[in-house]
């Protein structure tokens, strides 16, 4: 009896896997159909501020109208950036990896395994991508990520790409986490092998020094501390000297406002070393989270406005003990009191009010922190909408354009509650950090009302 049950379980798992592969394949096919029905025309590309946003795959793949991607991503319940990625991988597979595409269609290879190959071949030219397709058509999903990367790099070398093209794949990214408590950043990138080995050696040496100085932490923690020390040590390097008659523009963001003088022409050694650029964190801690005296530790959770991540009062206390830390206590803003100005541009205090109220872009599924967003007039200023904290909301630049130029509309229903309507008439409710799909029957009649100054909605859409 037990063996019969196990056999049935195995059969059900295989059937579930087949259904999953079929669903992922159907999503890829839907992505291809989306690009086919929303192509980017030459006239459209000429008007785009950044034409590269229309590219959906490697060399020679069709282009998609970027204004259509937010709608595509929202239908999948994904951020807009994920929508671009899914479309790019679909185009790469269909047009530049035809052998792998055929096996995906036959459910012989999982679509997500094929997409991992596609994500790595987009930077290759057509012959190199075709070579990878030949090498991996029977092995996709069975090789490790390392072996996959080796195959792609071998194709790059066989294609004889110039050094500039090879090094174009190098990068270092820092993702400042918005979900962890006590503020974390994740580092990932790709270096030349020699640079990577030297960095590894420097971190190992720094970790050994940390242990010698009495740091009892594990090796991994000490390596993280050593990397931070490498960053701080940049202040000890000699000041750079630009070629005569030039100004080093890349260093200008670290200019006078950050304690630096512009790097200007010079014929001799610099007279001083640059001061380290200060890092400013905007930390908001509720009063109840703060200790009453030095013997009590606050147990509440605050927020880092720069990244939207959470922070404990104890971690703030540890950071404040770092030598050279500068602490500024700002006046409390009562978020229940609306503020307004007669000008179009909100004041700095109003911006802070809106950012504290909505910590991210309010577009469906977007998580861009509000400090990096534009402030949008919910009811247009030209249509009589006031510049007030009740009529302002944070929108990242991509979604600000989607609302202003491409037919997305929304209404402010309550604090941190917004109803969005897509150009196709689909409804989405953004409630704080969460997004929910709505159907028209449950949306309520008030969501169909138009704010003052909005153009009439088409008969088959619901204007926000």
List, for residues 115-139, the tens digit of each pLDDT value. Answer: 988 998 888 888 889 988 988 888 8
| pLDDT value of position 107 | 92
Sign of the C-alpha dihedral computed for residues 308, 68, 112 and 189 taken in this order:
negative
272 in a structural domain = no
Looking at the structure, tell me whether residues 313 and 351 fall in a common domain: no
- pLDDT for 420: 96
Farthest CA pair distance, the chain = 89
Same domain, 28 and 148: yes
Our CA dihedral for 349, 351, 357, 362, rounded to 10 degrees, sits at 180
Residue 45 covered by a domain: yes
Residue with tokens 């009063």: 287
327 within a domain of the structure (yes/no): no
Residue 299 predicted with pLDDT over 70: no
Instruction: Tell me: do 115 and 206 sit in the same domain.
Output: no
Is residue 248, in this structure, part of any structural domain at all?
no
Contacts of 2 (CB under 8 A, 6+ apart): none
Strand partners, 187: 174
Q: Quick one: 16 and 78 in the same domain?
A: yes
Query: Residues 357-405: pLDDT tens digits?
Result: 888 899 999 988 888 899 999 999 999 999 999 999 999 999 999 999 9
Q: Are residues 7 and 148 in the same domain?
A: yes
For 45-92, how does the pLDDT look when each residue is reduced to its tens digit (9 = 90+)?
666 665 555 667 888 899 899 999 999 999 999 999 999 999 999 999
Domain annotation covers residue 463: no
Find all residues with CB under 8 Å of 290, minimum gap 6, and list them.
Answer: 298, 300, 313
Assess if residue 296 is contained within a domain: yes
φ and ψ at residue 196, rounded to 5 degrees: -65, -40
| Residue 379 belongs to domain spanning | 340-448
**Is the pLDDT at 7 greater than 80, yes or no?**
yes
List helix spans (H) across 159-307: 163-167, 193-212, 219-232
Domain end: 148, 165, 182, which one? 165
Residue closest to 288 by CA, chosen among 332, 322, 350, 349: 332
Q: Do residues 241 and 270 touch, judged by C-beta distance below 8 A?
A: yes
- At 217-256, the pLDDT tens digits run 899 889 988 888 887 765 544 555 545 544 444 444 443 3
Within this chain, do residues 438 and 375 fall inside the same structural domain, yes or no? yes
Determine, yes or no, domain membership for 66.
Answer: yes
- Which burial class, exposed, middle or buried, applies to 156 when counting CB atoms under 10 A from its CB (0-12, 13-18, 19+)? buried
Q: Are residues 157 and 303 in the same domain?
A: no
Residue 329 inside a domain? The answer is no
The tally of domains found in the chain comes to 4
Domain boundary among 225, 241, 269: 225
User: Distances from the Cα of 317 to the Cαs of 32, 187, 302, 332, 356, in angstroms?
Assistant: 52, 25, 12, 19, 22
Q: Which of 96, 131, 165 is the last residue of a domain?
A: 165
Residues 212, 142 share a domain: no
Residues 142 and 13 in one domain: yes
Are 397 and 297 part of one and the same domain? no
Q: Are residues 105 and 193 in the same domain?
A: no
Compute the CA torsion angle 193, 198, 202, 203 (nearest 10 deg).
Answer: 10
Q: Identify whether residues 302 and 435 lie together within a single domain.
A: no
């Amino acid at each position: 009896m037990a063996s019969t049950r196990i056999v049935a379980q195995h059969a059900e798992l295989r059937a579930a896997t087949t259904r999953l592969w079929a669903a992922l394949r159907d999503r890829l096919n839907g992505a291809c159909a989306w690009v086919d029905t929303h192509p980017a025309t030459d006239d459209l590309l000429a008007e785009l501020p950044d034409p590269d946003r229309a590219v959906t795959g490697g060399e020679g793949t069709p282009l998609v109208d970027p204004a259509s991607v937010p709608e595509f991503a929202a239908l999948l319940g994904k951020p807009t950036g994920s929508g671009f990625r899914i479309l790019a991988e679909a185009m790469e597979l269909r047009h530049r990896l035809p052998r792998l595409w055929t096996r995906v269609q036959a459910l012989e290879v999982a679509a997500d395994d094929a997409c991992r190959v596609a994500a790595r071949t987009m930077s290759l030219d057509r012959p190199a991508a075709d070579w990878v397709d030949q090498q991996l058509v029977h092995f996709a999903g069975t090789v490790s990520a390392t072996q996959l990367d080796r195959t792609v790099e071998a194709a790059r070398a066989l294609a004889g790409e110039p050094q500039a093209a090879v090094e174009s794949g190098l990068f270092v990214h820092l993702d400042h986490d918005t979900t962890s408590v006590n503020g974390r950043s994740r580092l990932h990138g790709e270096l030349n092998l020699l640079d990577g080995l030297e960095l590894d050696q420097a971190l190992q040496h720094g970790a050994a020094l940390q242990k010698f100085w009495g740091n009892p932490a594990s090796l991994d923690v000490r390596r993280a501390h050593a990397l931070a020390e490498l960053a701080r040590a940049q202040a000890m390097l000699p000041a750079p000297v630009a070629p005569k008659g030039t100004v080093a523009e890349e260093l200008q963001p670290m200019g006078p406002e950050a304690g630096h003088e512009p790097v200007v022409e010079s014929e001799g050694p610099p007279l001083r070393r640059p001061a380290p650029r200060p890092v400013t964190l905007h930390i908001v801690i509720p009063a109840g989270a703060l200790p009453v005296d030095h013997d009590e530790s606050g147990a509440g959770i605050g927020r880092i406005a720069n990244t939207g991540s959470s922070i404990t009062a104890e971690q703030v206390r540890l950071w404040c003990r770092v030598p050279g830390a500068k602490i500024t206590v700002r006046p409390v803003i009562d978020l229940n009191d609306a503020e307004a100005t007669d000008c179009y541009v909100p004041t700095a205090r109003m911006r802070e009010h809106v950012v504290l109220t909505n910590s991210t872009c309010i577009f469906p599924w977007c998580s861009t922190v509000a400090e990096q967003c534009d402030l949008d007039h919910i009811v247009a200023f030209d249509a009589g909408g006031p510049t007030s904290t009740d009529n302002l909301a944070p929108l990242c630049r991509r979604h600000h354009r989607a609302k202003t130029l491409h037919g997305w509309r929304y209404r402010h229903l309550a604090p941190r509650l917004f109803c969005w309507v897509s150009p196709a008439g689909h409804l989405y409710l953004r409630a704080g950090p969460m997004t929910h799909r709505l159907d028209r029957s449950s949306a309520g009649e008030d969501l169909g009302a138009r704010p003052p100054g909005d153009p009439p909605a088409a008969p088959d859409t619901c204007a926000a």
